[in-house]
Amino acid sequence: MAWLTRVGGGLAAALLLAACQGAPAPASQTISSAASPKPAQLVALKSGYTTTSASQAPIWAAKEGGYFEAEGLDVSLTRITALAAMLAALQTADIPLAFVSGQPPIEGSLQGGDFVMVAGFGDRMTGQIWTIPSITTPEQLKGKALGTTALGSASHIQAQTALAKLGIPKDQVGFVATGAPPETLAAIQAGPIHGAPFTPPESIRARDAGLHMLFDIGALGIPTLQSAAISTRGYVKAHPDVVERFVRATVRGTNRLIADREFAVKTIGKYAQIDDRKALDETIDYYSGLWTKDGAPSLEGIQQILDTTTVPGAKAAKPDQFVDTTFVTKMKSKGDS
Distance between CA 107 and CA 20 in Å, rounded? 20
Same fold across 2-26+42-124+224-334 and 128-220: yes
Q: What is the pTM of this model?
A: 0.80
For the cut 60, the answer to whether the pLDDT of residue 312 exceeds it is: yes
14-28, 35-49, 94-108, 299-313: least confidently modelled range = 14-28
Helices (H), 260-334: 261-272, 277-287, 299-308, 326-334
pLDDT in tens, 170-215: 899 999 999 888 899 999 999 889 999 998 878 888 999 999 999 9
Which residue ranges make up each domain of the chain?
2-26+42-124+224-334, 128-220
Between 254 and 40, name the one with better pLDDT.
254
pLDDT score of 230: 98
pLDDT score of 5: 46
Give the strand order in the sheet containing 97-100.
Answer: 73-79, 43-49, 97-100, 228-232, 115-120
Mean residue pLDDT of the chain comes to 87
> Cβ(99)–Cβ(59) under 8 Å?
yes
For the cut 50, the answer to whether the pLDDT of residue 100 exceeds it is: yes
CATH architecture of 2-26+42-124+224-334: 3-Layer(aba) Sandwich (3.40)
> Cβ(68)–Cβ(74) under 8 Å?
yes
125-129, 132-136, 326-330: least confidently modelled range = 125-129
Q: What is the DSSP string of 21-63?
A: HTS--TT-S-S-TTPPPPPTTPEEEEEEES-SSGGGHHHHHHH
* Average pLDDT of the residues in 217-224: 90
pLDDT score of 4: 53
CATH code 3.40.190.10 for 128-220: yes
* Average pLDDT of the residues in 272-291: 90
